[in-house]
């Protein structure tokens, strides 16, 4: 039954880069795709209608945060995440693993699961693979994630142990899954260690998940190490299944990921930068608080077609920032998200047009030699 709801088809390939279509119960997703993060069933400062206008196809919500507040039962009572947040497109929920393991001294890991203190009120909870799946089934996302352990990437001993747990927990997640209208993705771990990554990719692939995520990257390792791991796991992942690189969202990383066969990306970066007065462009990052923008009549990016760049100047945006107006975060977030969504659309088109290498070389050269236009 799962295949009736969820299918992936590659339309075109250039080297490892590929353009595809991901079929979900809430619409077909053209890949490669960037997924904005709506941690608490909302993409910060941006409405669902604005997301739709930007061209967002799928967004991500956070199991850990929604479990603590408002609770998975309440979301289910309200009809699931789609109805609760009034989002018509597809949704992916993470398992909460990264957030739980980020709690440091507030959590304790065993083979059974993770016991942790809520960052909200100090209450004690336990996540097991079975509970992580149960919560995500109540939330009702189209794509759900297996519960994994995400250790610091450079400690081999910790990664060896985490790999064993991640593999055991993946099997338990598969057994716990009951909904046929959700696709459960497996997650590959192994830190920066090639042999562990190969072992994990081979094992998780053997479980025949409908899609595969690469976790434990962009968490402290170097860019070179991240790209080496992406090059490696490409050889051990099924070519006919979608691949998801978790937590990556700079234009450079998206381009390099697509070059290495990645289909899906997510990151909080676009809205986080916006809340810190920074605009993301394909010509470099712009700090809109800088005084040089106070009298600038130009938009953030003269080449950008987003709502913000079509209607407002840098001078106005800086005024909003200095006046501490909430609209600043909204307008900059719209631009930042649009930039990444449009980048993915153009990368896909360049694959279809057979000029991917030429296009990405040009983009990366602009990003390595930034200008403020």
The tens digit of pLDDT for each residue in 77-95 reads 999 999 999 999 999 999 9
Q: What is the mean pLDDT of residues 18-34?
A: 98
Catalytic status, residue 266: yes
The tens digit of pLDDT for each residue in 91-109 reads 999 998 778 777 777 888 9
Considering 94, 142, 148, 253, which one is annotated as catalytic? Answer: 94
pLDDT score of 105: 77
Q: Is the pLDDT of residue 19 over 50?
A: yes
Q: What mean pLDDT is reported for the chain?
A: 95
Burial bucket for residue 148 (CB in 10 Å: 0-12, 13-18, 19+): buried
Considering 142, 148, 253, 266, which one is annotated as catalytic? Answer: 266
The tens digit of pLDDT for each residue in 275-334 reads 999 999 999 999 999 999 999 999 999 999 999 999 999 999 999 999 999 999 999 999
- What class, spelled out in words, does domain 2-267 have in CATH? alpha beta
pTM: 0.96
Could you tell me which residues come within 8 angstroms of residue 368 by beta carbon, excluding any fewer than 6 positions away? none
Domain-wise residue ranges, the chain: 2-267, 274-368
Is the Cβ–Cβ distance between 224 and 243 less than 8 Å?
no
How does DSSP classify residue 234? H
Q: Is the pLDDT of residue 365 over 80?
A: yes
Burial bucket for residue 170 (CB in 10 Å: 0-12, 13-18, 19+): buried
pLDDT score of 1: 42
φ, ψ dihedrals at 243, nearest 5°: -125, 135
Short-list 261, 186, 252, 184, CA closest to 218: 252
pLDDT score of 96: 83
Q: What is the mean pLDDT of residues 218-244?
A: 96
pLDDT score of 3: 56
Given pLDDT bands bounded at 50, 70 and 90, which one contains residue 373? low
Q: Is the pLDDT of residue 111 over 70?
A: yes
pLDDT score of 102: 78
The tens digit of pLDDT for each residue in 169-212 reads 999 999 999 999 999 999 999 999 999 999 999 999 999 999 99
| Peptide bond just before 164 cis, omega within 30 deg | no
């Amino acid at each position: 039954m799962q295949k009736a709801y969820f299918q992936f088809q590659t339309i075109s390939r250039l080297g490892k880069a590929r353009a595809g279509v991901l079929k979900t119960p809430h619409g077909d997703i053209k890949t490669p795709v960037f997924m904005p993060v709506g941690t608490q069933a909302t993409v910060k400062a941006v409405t669902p209608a604005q997301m739709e206008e930007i061209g967002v196809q799928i967004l991500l919500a956070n199991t850990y945060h929604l479990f603590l507040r408002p609770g998975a039962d309440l979301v289910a009572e309200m009809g699931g995440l789609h109805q609760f947040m009034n989002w018509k497109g597809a949704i992916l929920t993470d398992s909460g693993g990264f957030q739980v393991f980020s709690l440091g001294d507030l959590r304790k890991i065993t083979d059974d699961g993770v016991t942790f203190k809520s960052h909200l009120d100090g209450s004690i909870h336990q996540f097991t693979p079975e509970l992580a799946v149960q919560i995500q089934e109540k939330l009702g996302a189209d794509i759900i994630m297996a519960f994994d352990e995400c250790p610091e990437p450079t400690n081999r001993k910790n990664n060896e142990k985490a790999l064993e747990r991640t593999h055991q927990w993946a099997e338990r997640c598969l057994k716990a899954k009951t909904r046929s209208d959700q696709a459960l993705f497996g997650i590959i771990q192994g830190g920066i260690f090639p042999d562990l990554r190969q072992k994990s990719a081979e094992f998780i692939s053997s479980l025949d998940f409908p899609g595969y995520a690469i976790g434990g990257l962009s968490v402290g390792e170097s860019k070179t190490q991240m790209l080496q791991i992406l090059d490696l796991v490409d050889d051990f992942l099924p070519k006919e299944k979608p691949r998801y690189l978790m937590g990556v969202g700079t234009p450079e990383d998206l381009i390099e990921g697509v070059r290495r066969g990645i289909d899906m990306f997510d990151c909080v970066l676009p809205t986080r930068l916006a809340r810190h007065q920074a605009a993301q462009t394909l010509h470099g990052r712009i700090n809109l608080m800088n005084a040089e923008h106070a009298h600038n009549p130009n938009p953030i990016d003269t080449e950008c077609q987003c709502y913000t760049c079509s209607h407002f100047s840098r001078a106005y945006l800086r005024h909003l920032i200095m006046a501490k107006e909430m609209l600043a975060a909204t307008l900059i977030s719209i631009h930042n998200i649009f930039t990444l969504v449009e980048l993915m659309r153009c990368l896909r088109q360049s694959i279809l047009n057979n000029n991917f290498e030429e296009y990405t070389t040009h983009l990366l050269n602009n990003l390595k030699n930034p200008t403020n236009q």
